[in-house]
Amino acid sequence: MTPFRLPAGGRIDRSHKIGFSFDGRAYYGHAGDTLASALLANGVSLMARSFKYHRPRGPVTAGASEPNALVTIGTGGRTEPNTRATVAELYEGLDAVSQNRWPSLSFDIGSVNSLLSPVLGAGFYYKTFMWPAAFWEKVYEPLIRKAAGLGRATYEADPDSYEKCWAHCDLLVIGGGAAGLSAAVTAARAGARVIVADEQAEMGGWLLSESGVIDGTLAATVLAGLLFELEGHPNVTLLSRSTVFGWYDDGVFGAVERVQKHVPRIDANRPVERLWRIAARHAILATGAEERPLVFGGNDIPGVMTASAMRTWLTRYGVAAGKNPAIFANDDSAYALAADLEAAGMAVAAIVDPRADGGRDWTGRAEVLRGAVVTDAHGGKAVEAISVRVNGTLRKIAADALAMAGGFSPVIHLSCHRGAKPVWSEEKAAFLAPSGLDGLTVAGGAAALRGLGAVMADGAAKAASVLAAIGFAGTPAFASAPEEGGAAKPLWSVPGTKGKAFVDYQNDVHTKDLGLAVREGYGHVELAKRYTTNGMATDQGKLGNVNAIGILAEARGVSPAEVGTTTFRPFYTPVSFGALAGTSRGKHFQPVRQSPLHGWAKRNGATFVETGLWYRSAWFPRAGETTWRESVDREVTTTRSAAGLCDVSTLGKIEITGRDAATFLDRVYCNGFAKLPVGKARYGLMLREDGFIYDDGTTSRLEENRYFMTTTTAYAAGVMAHLEFCAQALWPELDVRFASVTDEWAQMAIAGPKSREILSAIVDADLSDAAMPFLGAKTVTLGGGAIEARLFRISFSGELAYELAVPAGYGEAVADAIMEAGRVHGICAYGVEALAVMRIEKGHVTHNEINGTVVPADLGFGRMVSATKADFIGRAMLAREGLTDLDRPRLVGVKPVDPKDGFRTGSHILAEGAEATLENDQGYVSSSCYSPSLGHTIGLALVKRGPERLGERVQIWNSLRGEFTMGVLTSPVFIDPDNARLHG
Amino acid sequence: MASLITCPHCGPRPKEEFSIRSDASLTRPAPDADAETWHAYVYLRDNSRGRHREYWHHAAGCRRWLVVERDTQTHVVHSVTDAADATRTRGAA
């Protein structure tokens, strides 16, 4: 038996020993223990060092609000810092280490900070690091960063998996304690779909810690009965180890379920945590109440804890917090603890009750000192004695533990997550949830009710009225019962203490800090928080905030109602990044889109480049080629001299049908489409409503009322949404429909002087210029009618070229067949790099030029814009004078004066001899490449009055690289300006 | 921001399935409207507190554009209608 484990009692399984380690030392506990209860059973109450002063700390609570006992659990990628030992379930091999100490927990150099406390008071950050200014970045900030935080996160990847899911229910019960379970039973019997979520491993809340009876039945027996019934209802889902951490709009709650945080060996096929989003028609908040510590000197020494924590150790875990504990009771509930302690054979050193008439019903052995306060607890790493002021005199009493009963604060955080503020109740001496919440009802201890009978009755009654409101006939499962005891007048802090009296344990904020904040003008609750750090960090002031508000109220001479609270926000308790990320990590972070020709490209040795989600073939290196440029130059040269095949499947493809398809296209393109003959393709420019170009592409008329639109790869989804918006929101009177068919077709460009000859071997139709002229578009068959395909005579390269679209599944076979047919003609596969080189050589634009700042005239497309159409998107705004100004940057070609010189995309254009200043900037290079056809670098540029300046020498300036190149402005069409190749 | 949007075609769906475009209270001007009217339509937006009509696209659902009327302060969604119906209604009014 471990030294502080009682011989009997508690809900632990004494037949099942569990070995674990803390700071490298081996201990054992039992199934049902938390790390904290097992350590306390082993006599280890020093579990951590505080944040600022490095004071020795042990658990002050036995649950989720624990500010002190934070440890790091796990090793390697499973290292989890700042884990509350009070909620960490014990499992075989659990490996925990303490934090914020060096060299060891019991001997910590950092505790010298306690001696420096006069300069480490509230606001010391703002006062101390002011001078010299140069020290901030080099000295102060690195020091502060080193000192900040408690545990250290691991740099290793998390080896475990996480998942997310949705759930829907009629009633969500948050908290599986007395109120929650009685509400759940009431709803279950009414046939409602119920989810009960509770943060602990075992449902029951305070029923797990209560030794007494409810209406004549032992609390544990009541609990067993409730759970037995709920488990038998198929309409009830019990989620234990699940913290509801946030209330969001429309009755959606977030919860995190710790699926495998308590197991020695993690099953890789299951998540370790699961993030739930629960859409509930209504929810009952049954989160109970938090016992407040009392604020006196040394109230942070290990062994000082809330009375409910001490009672939980005793009755739930069979652990004695001390051999002769004392009790500081400003609340009658502490007397139940005293009775339990004495029943367990412990001598209670004293019950110190500040109230003149407290504990009138006490019949136990312990002495009650009424009208008395504990001014200080004494001890270093454990409590040794307490100083009690009674009748004006100080009395020292030996005690090795001290329970504090400061009254109860309802746990109402979730009720305020959507913006409502808590309301102070003088009668209950507590902040209550705001009333009139839409879809959330607060019940039991969370509604400031006292006594398990009253709490259960409240849960049942509230559930019944909620059920009625959402269409179920529910009868309360428990009859009403009177409240037990009332709230005492709060004792916010004890005057005349010697040692530091802590308010916020985790941030080492003590009473003097709050007093200082008020004196220095930071008494507003939000300012005091920032000035003192009260209520920050992992516990967000769950334990200390109400005391802090009370102390601020006293210091300012106002009511806590006037001080108010800081804002409650999700998450209620910390949520791991893993749970929030879910499955969106590694390869699952974003999907990979592969073209239907991906396999073909891979077989041909493609190097791929990521373009959004797509992987596009960038170039196809061959044996002996050592740089990408060698491959690209060869692909360009081969295509221009013989033929090339390029995968263009990633272009967006939208099929547009309907009686008014032509009218619709006329309105979304700035050029005309209504008169486009069937069997022809046309280049189209789509504007935004502000007149700037949005996207471009070719659209073909396949039938009278059927068009096939292509978009750029990047804007495929955006154009689709835009078309849908125009059709649905702007012109619902038009009969037009869209289908995104990007993934239905494998589309390949076959370009080069031999392309017709090669394709003729595959395509059944006549491909002569007469039968299939430039911009022809028709449905054809391949391989003697085997496959139906669409053939377009369009050219991005400037060569005689076609685009062939076949059903996606046939893509690779058709590409293989074309390559085979083209082998004797010297065909090569080419990638998007060669495609880009050829389009720059031909002066074709892409989104490098269509970058949101250009209008059609800027690109030489001014005459494309219809002057006759009454309306199209962008027409009105395009007429603005600023957009018709000839001084605008317009498209022009640029090449180096000396062919040996190069330049880069992004370089700026300056007049010859002009200084490189913002005022002299005349434009910039939007695209550039080495042109194997011309043997030097070429570029497209947007230059002021560019087309009027052909032949002018300019400077091409790259300030990032410090490069100046002398260049000449030219036509943007570098090859085949009279389109002889195109029409070949 | 709402967590669930009740699409008139698909029922209540998580907001992540939708994308938001802009103020739905604006009417696209007639093609020959004056420059000021067009300027206001394209550029000027109220940052309203309270009821606000907005275009939401059920992009990961039925692909319909919807008009969502919501309260920017309380996040209450007052109505969700198909944008085509909303436009026709406005045209009739």
| Any A CB within 8 A of B11 CB | no
How far apart are alpha carbons A545 and A592 in whole angstroms?
48
Number of A:B CB contacts under 8 A? 70
pLDDT tens by residue, B16-35: 999 999 899 999 999 999 99
How far apart are alpha carbons A228 and A224 in whole angstroms?
6
Q: How many helices (H) and strands (E) does chain B have?
A: 2, 6
Between A870 and A124, name the one with better pLDDT. Answer: A870
Q: Is residue B31 part of a domain?
A: no
pLDDT band at residue A637 under the 50/70/90 scheme: very high
Q: Is residue B10 part of a domain?
A: no
pLDDT tens by residue, A190-210: 999 999 999 999 999 999 999
Nearest CA in chain B to A727: B84
Q: What is the pLDDT of residue A537?
A: 86
Distances (CA, A) of B28 to A174, A645, A725: 48, 44, 12
How far apart are alpha carbons A639 and A274 in whole angstroms?
54
- Residue A277 and residue B1: Cβ atoms within 8 Å? no
pLDDT tens by residue, A560-608: 999 999 999 999 999 999 999 999 998 899 999 999 999 999 999 999 9
- Residue B87 and residue A252: Cβ atoms within 8 Å? no
Q: Is residue B93 part of a domain?
A: yes
How far apart are alpha carbons A445 and A83 in whole angstroms?
26
Token couple for A93: 């091999």
- Residue A418 and residue B75: Cβ atoms within 8 Å? yes
* Cβ atoms A288, A205 nearer than 8 A: yes
Q: Which of A279, A733, A871 sits opposite B31 (nearest CB)?
A: A871
- Residue B3 and residue A250: Cβ atoms within 8 Å? yes
- Residue A875 and residue B57: Cβ atoms within 8 Å? no
- Residue A730 and residue B28: Cβ atoms within 8 Å? yes
Range of the structural domain that residue B79 is part of:
20-26+50-93
Q: Residue range A773-779: average pLDDT?
A: 97
The dihedral formed by the CA atoms of A378, A379, A383 and A385, expressed in degrees to the nearest 10: -40
Residues of A with CB under 8 A from a CB of B: 166, 248-252, 277, 279, 418, 689-690, 721, 724-725, 728-730, 732-733, 870-871, 875-877, 880
Q: What is the pLDDT of residue A1?
A: 65
pLDDT tens by residue, A43-69: 999 999 998 899 999 999 999 999 999
Q: Is residue B67 part of a domain?
A: yes
pLDDT tens by residue, A459-498: 999 999 999 999 999 999 999 889 888 888 999 999 999 9
Task: Assess whether pLDDT exceeds 90 at residue A128.
Answer: no
A495 burial type by CB count under 10 A (0-12 exposed, 13-18 middle, 19+ buried): exposed
Question: What ipTM was assigned to the predicted interfaces of this complex?
Answer: 0.98
User: Which of chain A's residues have a Cβ under 8 Å away from the Cβ of B18?
Assistant: none
Token couple for B83: 């944008």
Token couple for A443: 């019940």
Task: Assess whether pLDDT exceeds 70 at residue A363.
Answer: yes
Task: Assess whether pLDDT exceeds 80 at residue A135.
Answer: no
Mutate: best of B13, B63, B73, partner A, most A CBs <10 A: B63
Q: Is residue B83 part of a domain?
A: yes
- Residue A689 and residue B24: Cβ atoms within 8 Å? no
Whether the model clears a pTM of 0.90, i.e. scores above it, the answer is yes
User: Which of chain B's residues have a Cβ under 8 Å away from the Cβ of A880?
Assistant: 35
**Which residues, other chains included, contact A310 with Cβ-Cβ below 8 Å and sequence gap of 6+?**
A321, A325, A337, A341, A401, A403
Question: How close, in Å, is residue B59 to chain A by CA atoms?
Answer: 8
pLDDT tens by residue, A899-926: 999 999 999 999 999 999 999 999 999 9
- Residue B4 and residue A279: Cβ atoms within 8 Å? yes
Tally of structural domains, chain B: 1
Share of chain A above pLDDT 70, in %: 99
Helix axes A452-469, A178-189, angle to 10 degrees: 40
Q: Is residue B14 part of a domain?
A: no
Q: Is residue B43 part of a domain?
A: no
The residue among A671, A736, A667, A662 whose CA lies nearest residue A701 is: A662
